[in-house]
C-alpha cells in the first residue's frame, strides 16, 4: 500500500489580468519566457496586495521545496508514495513518481507556468505531470480502504509522533499538507478529514512537515 500526499491550496497561478499593468509585473514579464508568467510574491508583492486572499497566493517556492523533499525520500524511491498538488484555484495535478524535478527554481517556475497553460507536461509520450478533472473530494473518494489525515498547527497536538500511522499494510493513508505560507485551510479542505493533527507547538514550513511526516511513515513501515 502506498502513502498518498496531497499538497493542498498551493499558491500557484499565472499572473492575473488585474495586475498585469502594475510596474512590478511589467518590469519582469517576458512573453517568450514561461517562468516570468507565473505569479511570484518575491517579484510581485507590491502588485499582489490588491488581490483577494493575497497571503495564500504567489508562492511556487513552497511547492518546489515540498516536491524536492518528497521525491527524494526513500519512500518514493521504494515506489510507495503517490503525490498530488492542488492550487488555490482548485486545480489538481498528479505527478508521475518517476519524475525528476529540476533543482533550479527558475526552471521549476517555467515548468509550472507551462503546466498551468497546457494542463500537462509530457516526455516521450508518457506524462510527467497531468491535470485531473476530479475535485479533491472526488479524488479522495476513488481511493479505497483509506484514512485521511490533515496536518495543521491548529490541530490536536500529537503526543507520540509514531502514533500517527499504524503498521497496517491494508490501509491507504492520505495526508493533506497546506502548500501556503499564511492563513488557514478553506472550509472545503477542512471537511475532507476528521483527524486534524498538529505535530509541533510551532507553525512549521510546509516542506519541513512533508519531510517529517514521510519519515514517520518510513519508520513505522521499516523503509530505509
Ligand atoms: C506555513 S504552514 C501554513 C500556515 C498556518 N498558520 C499553519 O501553521 O497551519 C504550511 C502547512 O504546514 C503544515 N503545518 C505547519 N505547522 C504545522 C504543525 N505544527 N503541525 C502540523 N502541520 C503543520 C500545515 O499543513 C500547513 O498548512
pLDDT at 30: 82
Q: Which atom of ligand 1 is nearest to the CA of 197?
A: 21
Spatial contact of 214 and 69, defined as CB atoms under 8 Å apart: yes
**pLDDT category of residue 27 using cuts at 50, 70 and 90:** confident
Q: Please provide the DSSP assignment of 30-85 as one string.
A: -TT-GGGGB--HHHHHHHHTTSTTGGGSS-HHHHHHHHHHHHTSHHHHTT-EEEEE
Specify the pLDDT at position 140.
Answer: 97
- What is the percent of the chain where pLDDT is above 70? 100
Mean pLDDT, rounded, for 3-17: 97
Q: Which residues contact 36 (CB under 8 A, 6 or more apart)?
A: 28, 29, 30
Q: What contacts 201, CB < 8 A, 6 or more positions away?
A: 157
Inform me whether the pLDDT recorded for 166 exceeds 90.
yes
Domains detected in the chain: 1-12+59-224 (3.40.1280.10)
Residue owning the nearest CA to atom 25 of ligand 1 = 177
Of 65, 29, 61, the C-alpha closest to 47 is: 29
Atom 23 in ligand 1: residue holding the nearest Cα: 152
18 within 8 A of 51, measured Cβ to Cβ: yes
Element (H, E) at 207: helix 206-220
Q: Which three cell numbers stand for residue 126?
A: 508518457
Q: Could you tell me the pLDDT band of residue 109, with boundaries at 50, 70 and 90?
A: very high
As a whole number, the mean pLDDT across the chain is 95
- With the most atoms of ligand 1 within 8 angstroms of its CB, the residue from 70, 178, 208 to mutate is 178
Q: What is the pLDDT of residue 32?
A: 80
- What integer is the mean pLDDT of 126-141? 96
What is the pLDDT at residue 24?
85
The whole-number pLDDT of residue 59 equals: 97
Nearby residues of 110 by Cβ (< 8 Å), 6 or more positions away: 33, 34, 35
* DSSP state for residue 93 in the 8-state scheme: E
Cell of 149: 489525515
Mean of pLDDT values over 21-42? 89
Inform me whether the pLDDT recorded for 222 exceeds 80.
yes
What's the gap in Å between 158 CA and the centre of ligand 1? 14
Q: How close is the Cα of 9 to the center of ligand 1, in Å? A: 12
Q: How many CA atoms lie within 13 A of 138 on its CB side?
A: 8
Amino acid at each position: 500500500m502506498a502513502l498518498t500526499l496531497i499538497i493542498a491550496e498551493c499558491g500557484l497561478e499565472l499572473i492575473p489580468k488585474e495586475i498585469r499593468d502594475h510596474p512590478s509585473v511589467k518590469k519582469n514579464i517576458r512573453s517568450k519566457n514561461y517562468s516570468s508568467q507565473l505569479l511570484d510574491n518575491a517579484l510581485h508583492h507590491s502588485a499582489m496586495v490588491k488581490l483577494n486572499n493575497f497571503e495564500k497566493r504567489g508562492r511556487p517556492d513552497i511547492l518546489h521545496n515540498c516536491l524536492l523533499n518528497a521525491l527524494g525520500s526513500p519512500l518514493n524511491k521504494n515506489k510507495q508514495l503517490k503525490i498530488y498538488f492542488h492550487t488555490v484555484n482548485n486545480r489538481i495535478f498528479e505527478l508521475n513518481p518517476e519524475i525528476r524535478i529540476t533543482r533550479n527554481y527558475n526552471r521549476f517556475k517555467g515548468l509550472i507556468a507551462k503546466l498551468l497553460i497546457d494542463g500537462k507536461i509530457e516526455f516521450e509520450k508518457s506524462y510527467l505531470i497531468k491535470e485531473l478533472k476530479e475535485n479533491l473530494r472526488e479524488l479522495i473518494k476513488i481511493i479505497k480502504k483509506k484514512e485521511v489525515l490533515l496536518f495543521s498547527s491548529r490541530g490536536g497536538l500529537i503526543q507520540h509522533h509514531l502514533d500517527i500511522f499504524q503498521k497496517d499494510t491494508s490501509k491507504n493513508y492520505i495526508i493533506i499538507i497546506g502548500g501556503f505560507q499564511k492563513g488557514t485551510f478553506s472550509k472545503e479542505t477542512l471537511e475532507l478529514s476528521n483527524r486534524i493533527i498538529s505535530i509541533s507547538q510551532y507553525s512549521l514550513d510546509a516542506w519541513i512537515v512533508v519531510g517529517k511526516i514521510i519519515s514517520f511513515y518510513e519508520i513505522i513501515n521499516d523503509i530505509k
